[in-house]
Structure 1
Amino acid sequence: MRTRLLVFISVVLVAVCAVMALTTVFAQRAYLLGNLDDRVTNAAERSLGGASLHPDLTQDLTFLNESGHPAGMLAARLGADGTVLAAATVGQDAPPQNLSATQIASLKGIEADGGLHTRTVPGLGTYRFTALGNNGVRVLTGLPMDDVQDMIGGLVVVEAVVAAAGLTVAGCVCAVVIRRQLRPLGRVAATAVEVSHAPLCRGEVTGLTRVPERDTDPGSEAGQVGAALNRMIDHVESSLAERQRSEERMRRSEERMRRFLADASHELRTPLASIAGYAELMNRGTDRIEPGLAWRRVTAESARMTGLVEDLLLLARLDEGRPLQSAEVDLAALVAEAVWDARAAGSGHDWQLELCLDEAPLVLGDEARLHQVVANLLANARVHTPVGTSVVAVVEAGRGMCAVRVRDDGPGIPPDLLPTVFERFTRADASRARATAGSGAGLGLAIVAAITAAHGGHIDVHSEPGRTEFTVELPLTGDTGADTLTWSPRVSVR
């Protein structure tokens, strides 16, 4: 680009200089020729006046002896047919010199019509001629063009030298300016080359090089290219980062799926193995095991397997987005019933219920599933805390939202388990063997999160030793006023 620009500018400058020089030369030549023509015409009129004094002397050139004629002037008497009868030149401080036959021959063909002609006279040079006639007297007069030609030649030489010097200086300046102005574009190209060498095929985002800030000025073309390249690099990096995040999410999803299948297979295999074992013992004879005990164990394992399958089916339905039953649900009454049920199941805990209601706690949803949410949270607190732990269920309603909080003062959730506490088959004991007989398969909190999300709500947990709180937030129906409440807005039940 630098070479093409320099060549193009140089050609343009040469063309401009040539046009200007030719215009100057032609204008100067026209001016000098006009001035010379005026002098030739004046000299011819003067010569005609001198020759008219002796019209009968057709070869008389005595008028050339008069003073005031310019040196080198050529004058001649013409006949009626245009032939040169006599011709001579005026010398510097010397008498007129007659022309030779060869010189006279070069003057043929010039008519006495006042027109201007240019002829080259052998031995004398180039002349500008005109011929005038009056009352039968015809005079040819000419002046040398040496001065005009010398001046034009000198002007051409001067203009050529000046143009050559000017073009050389202009070319050097243009080369420097072009190189300096295209430096930003060169830096942009270098950045593009460096980015093209980055291992983008592996999808690694390693901090791609950017065009410097000084080369991204929108006021220049190179700056616009630099800014556009930076935007493209930003898009490339964001796309690569998004692809990495997608791949990471896919990898984690695959890992969770494999773990889910392994855990589900294990959880289903355990009761199936128990059922198969008791059936095998019964086949070997009743002397090996009491039939009633075997039947009770088979029933218990069947119920356990049925519950696990139902939980998995529920999660599958929620993942598919299947619609739930929709009706107006009173969360205060629902939580109160769940607390009474939990008190019956875990009498060793201190169960409490608090109602902090500024609005009616009415939400739109599936009452059975919402009851399952609260029951799972209370069961989670009962199973994972020691006897004597206080468990408080709080219902709050106000500003268009209803919050159900389940708080206990147990040992808390391990910090490394908090980020995955709502994932499926997450248990405090990382092994598949249960630490306690009452621990579940790790689906309770996953079901709570899925049901809450299906109702357009949100669940959160905060835990530290001595305080663990799960919070479920659901939108209120918004069409029932506070005047329909049939309970005190602030109630605490123990």
Structure 2
Amino acid sequence: MAAAEAAHPRPARWRSPAGWPLRTRLVATMIALLAVLGLVVGGTAELYLKRSLSRQVDLKLAETMKFAVRGGGSGDKGWGPPGPGLDPITRLRSPLANPPPNVARGSILLFLDPADTGTVRGGGILGESTTGFGNDYADLSDKARGTLTAAALDAGGDPVDVDLGDVGDFRAVAWPARVDGAGNYLAIAALSVKDVNDTLNTVALFTGCVVLGSLLIAGWGGALIVRRTLKPLDRVAATASRVAELRLDRGEVELAQRVPEPDTDPRTEVGQVGAALNRMLDHIGGALEARHASEMQVRQFVADASHELRTPLAAIRGYAELSRRSRQPVPDELAHVLGRVESEAKRMTALVEDLLLLARLDAGRPLAQEPVDLTMLAVDATSDAHAAGPRHCWQLDLPDEPVTVLGDGARLHQVVANLLANARTHTPEGSTVTVKVGTVPNAAVLQVIDNGPGIPADLVPQIFERFARGDSSRSRAAGSTGLGLSIVHAVVTSHRGKVGVRSRPGQTVFTVTLPLVIPSAEHHTPSLPRVG
């Protein structure tokens, strides 16, 4: 679990949707689809509304042009002359001087006379005139006149949108006309589209607010629905997590965890996953039971074989030793052979004893539980090691106060002796080996440190496995069996402790951590906390 989190740190999850949880991706996908749908619907409605309002403006623009143009110029664009319904006063007035009374305020009427060097008459439409003849023209700036005239002429008789800056946005059209029955003019009519733009902006804002509110409601509701829908998947994941926390590498494993029956419905995707997980757990459980049965058979065979071999090996050693004590002279060659027989018998006896000890520890045989002074044990073991390897430099680093642990003194002595024998065997003469004893909260720590060549990096992970060796040879002059460190691991584990190693060229450190004796205030008996 920690390795997975280290490989995928949490901040990196949000850099790509691939690292998002499933429920987050589902809700995000739903919101994205709804957002796209809202944009499409809102955009389509906005375009349709703009087209409809523009069409209405064009109709008003056509009516304005009809009132502005007198006589002729109807053409095929529909900008025809006014009907006969105009009052006599209107017929007597000229649109060049005053705008027609039916033209809306805020509109623009311009008349371009090509024959008079492009003179432009007219202007913006004001309110009622003080002369009583209807509306008046308001002057436009030369820039506004030029922009409006150029845009209308470029449109070729079709309505066009024109931006006149401070004056505003207009919809304009130009069409040739005869004014007052004489002269050919180019009439330009323009209507303000401010109301149209305001309407479009209001509709767009309202639509955006509605879409945003709908997305928030859909996201909240979708999160609840997705969370409820994926609860069976959470239960399947919880079952898999509980199985992942079990120790499956050794011993008898009771694999009773299963996905609940309601979450194994094959009609649903989650049910298919749950059913497949249950089938897989059934197969794994059967395999673990078969493995445990095989291991128990092998352990029982090793224990029985080791026990049975002790007697013939003791007999071989006895006869070899008896032959050396015979009163009759023994030829040198035969004496050498008997010496080798006795030496190999001792080596086989040590191997059998180690295998028998490991078999007993694997079987869970209880060890003695009594206070053991770890400092004195380190002193005794170091003294024995000095006698066995006088050409090494042996050092002790002990605390001022005794360090007491609860366990089997003989087995703990064997742990320290095996570590020191390992250091003596795998370091050259003259190397320094230091035995250090100390404490940490709730635990005693024993370290064996040497300044030898170190352990190969590829051997460190399996250094405590049985018959692990630093070279390819199966025999050594020192008589090592390859079980010393595996015995260390088994004994320390049986004492509910931990053992580890750190090694580099020039320094190798074996660390043994054991629970300290913690007296109980109620029963006055030592209790044993677990190290870890």
TM-score by length of 2: 0.40
Larger Rg: 1
Larger RCO, structures 1/2 (Cα 8 Å, 6+ apart)? 1
TM-score by length of 1: 0.43
